[in-house]
Structure 1
Amino acid sequence: MDDERELAEFARRWSEAELRGDVAALDELLTDDFTAVGPQGFVLDKKQWIDRYASGALIHDAFTWEEVTVRRHGRAAVAVGVQGQQSVYDGRDADGHFRVTQMIVADGAQWKLAAVHLSPTGGRTPLND
């Protein structure tokens, strides 16, 4: 499988794992030193990111990953896309529409997500248009 198809398959697996809150899949898809910067500037490590699902605090009714462009840089890639979600976090509405930057790295024969940064677009999600 070539890199372009592998990265497309990685994106599909990641967005499915996020939608389902699949802790085991996310544990496999994220690097051990994964870092996320949330839409309001907070920072989460891998354990904190996954614990949102493990605790049941974050539940997605819908999750999309669209308008994605990927640029390869050696054994790494930068993906920029639009994430839409219909979600509940800790009992509160967490619907959103975000411009997302992902740093994806080759870890042996697998691609893994090393970092993600979310910025709110202020727009409606494509899920509720």
Structure 2
Amino acid sequence: MASERDPEHDLRDANHRYDLALVAADASALDALYLPEFTYIGPGGVVRNKAEQIRSLASGAIDIIEGGSDHISITIYGEAAILTGRFTGRVRAHGEEFSFQERYSTVWINRGNGWRLALEHGTVIKDK
């Protein structure tokens, strides 16, 4: 539920729920967090709409075992906000398990019913 008092707190909470939905591959929670016009831009320039991104995350092809955000920065512009951060986690893909870090930027919109994602851009941080 959105709070008139502290939109930044509400946005941090929404981002945390997003992290949990990613780790759980919870298609229902992802559907609730993404706006209908949601767009994901990821590694290699892949572009996915809402349905494609939910299908990709819930398919099990890449299983996020654990993960979460840190280094979060938020700028709120009324009913829109930009949130940047780092997601660090462990995944299982193609029979292998490995750790990864991703820097991301997201655009969130609050249309009176809580913060929802309009856009996400993620870049995997390469090992040195």
TM value normalised by structure 1: 0.87
Q: Using the TM superposition, give the Cα deviation of residue 89 of structure 1 relative to its aligned residue in structure 2, in angstroms.
A: 3.6
- Counterpart of 1:31 in structure 2 is 35
Alignment RMSD (CA, Å): 1.7
Q: Using the TM superposition, give the Cα deviation of residue 3 of structure 1 relative to its aligned residue in structure 2, in angstroms.
A: 0.4
8 Å contact kept, 1:97–1:123:
no
Q: Secondary structure at the match of 1:108?
A: coil
Paired residues, what number? 124
- Counterpart of 1:16 in structure 2 is 20
Determine whether 1:62 maps to 2:55.
no
Q: Using the TM superposition, give the Cα deviation of residue 94 of structure 1 relative to its aligned residue in structure 2, in angstroms.
A: 6.3
- Counterpart of 1:103 in structure 2 is 107
More off after superposition, 3-12 vs 22-31: 3-12
8 Å contact kept, 2:70–2:86:
yes
More off after superposition, 23-32 vs 48-57: 48-57
In structure 2, how many angstroms separate the alpha carbons of the residues matched to 1:60 and 1:20?
Answer: 8
Please tell me the residue identity of whatever aligns with 1:114.
A
- Counterpart of 1:7 in structure 2 is 11
Please tell me the residue identity of whatever aligns with 1:112.
R
Q: Using the TM superposition, give the Cα deviation of residue 117 of structure 1 relative to its aligned residue in structure 2, in angstroms.
A: 0.4
Q: Using the TM superposition, give the Cα deviation of residue 88 of structure 1 relative to its aligned residue in structure 2, in angstroms.
A: 2.5
Unaligned runs of 5+ in 2: none
Q: Kindly, what percent of the aligned residue pairs are identical?
A: 27
Q: Using the TM superposition, give the Cα deviation of residue 55 of structure 1 relative to its aligned residue in structure 2, in angstroms.
A: 2.3
Q: Using the TM superposition, give the Cα deviation of residue 59 of structure 1 relative to its aligned residue in structure 2, in angstroms.
A: 1.0
TM value normalised by structure 2: 0.87
- Counterpart of 1:47 in structure 2 is 51
Q: Secondary structure at the match of 1:32?
A: strand
8 Å contact kept, 2:105–2:121:
yes
Query: Aligned in 2, Cα 1:90/1:53: closer, same or farther, shift over 3 Å?
Result: farther
